[in-house]
């Protein structure tokens, strides 16, 4: 099985130190389903044409290599396969530095917090949006019959354009609730 030649995505001038020691892995005693043998006769292997291709579970897609010596009539010889497409994540991608792991955990925590905030917002009725939503709490002191703020926290009346913008925000919330099937 061939893997990436280098341990880094872009080799530098020190490319000899960045060569992946696991770029070629041989499994001389691998076990293959007996049905594969019937499709891998040495007479059918040719370096000038496409050889038989197989998908081996959890590893990827393989083709019969020209080094195959298996003779179907005698049942003797060896089968050699080369992986052409991997189905599992490469090893070097799994090895992350502490900084990369910390950044990944931070991003996951941020995504979780955003999801929880979205779910919390989806539980708010449209008429209570400006009273209960985290981004609006404490910003307004008075509301009309539909729940649209009419005065800011200091008691100053809001302009008509500000109230119109807030009404659009409420309509957007109603649409989000309808899309989620909550209204």
Structural domains in the chain, sorted by start: 15-94 (2.40.240.10), 98-180 (no CATH)
- Asked if residue 85 lies in contact with residue 60, where contact means CB atoms within 8 angstroms, the answer is yes
Rounded to 5 degrees, φ, ψ at 53 are -120, 145
- Between CA 7 and CA 29 the distance in angstroms is 27
pLDDT per residue over 40-69, tens digit each? Answer: 777 777 777 777 777 777 778 888 888 888
- Between CA 50 and CA 157 the distance in angstroms is 78
- Between CA 133 and CA 121 the distance in angstroms is 6
- What is the pTM (predicted TM-score) of this model? 0.44
Run of H or E including 170: helix 160-180
Task: Average the pLDDT over 92-120 and give the result.
Answer: 84
Q: What is the pLDDT of residue 89?
A: 60
Q: Say what percent of the chain tops pLDDT 70.
A: 94
Task: Average the pLDDT over 157-166 and give the result.
Answer: 94
- Between CA 126 and CA 177 the distance in angstroms is 9
Winning range, highest mean pLDDT, from 72-76, 80-84, 107-111, 114-118? 107-111
- Between CA 115 and CA 130 the distance in angstroms is 20
pLDDT tier at 93, thresholds 50, 70, 90: low
Q: What is the pLDDT of residue 183?
A: 47
Q: What is the pLDDT of residue 2?
A: 77
Task: Average the pLDDT over 29-38 and give the result.
Answer: 80
- Between CA 180 and CA 167 the distance in angstroms is 20
Q: What is the pLDDT of residue 7?
A: 87
Chain-centroid distance of CA 47 in Å reads 37
């Amino acid at each position: 099985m061939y893997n990436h030649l280098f341990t880094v995505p872009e080799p530098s001038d020190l490319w000899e130190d960045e060569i992946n020691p696991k770029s070629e892995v041989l499994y001389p005693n691998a076990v293959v389903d007996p049905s594969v043998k019937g499709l891998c006769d040495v007479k059918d292997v040719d370096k000038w044409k496409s050889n038989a291709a197989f998908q081996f579970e959890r590893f990827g897609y393989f083709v019969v290599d020209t080094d195959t010596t298996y003779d179907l009539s005698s049942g003797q010889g060896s089968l050699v396969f080369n992986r052409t497409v991997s189905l599992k994540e490469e090893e070097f991608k799994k090895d992350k530095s502490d900084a990369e792991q910390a950044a990944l955990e931070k991003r996951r925590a941020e995504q979780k917090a955003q999801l929880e905030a979205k779910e919390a917002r989806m539980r708010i009725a449209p008429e209570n949006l400006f009273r209960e939503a985290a981004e609006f709490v404490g910003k307004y002191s008075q509301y009309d019959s539909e729940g649209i703020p009419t005065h800011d926290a200091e008691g100053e009346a809001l302009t008509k354009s500000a109230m119109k913008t807030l009404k659009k925000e409420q309509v957007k919330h109603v649409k989000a609730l309808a899309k989620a099937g909550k209204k």
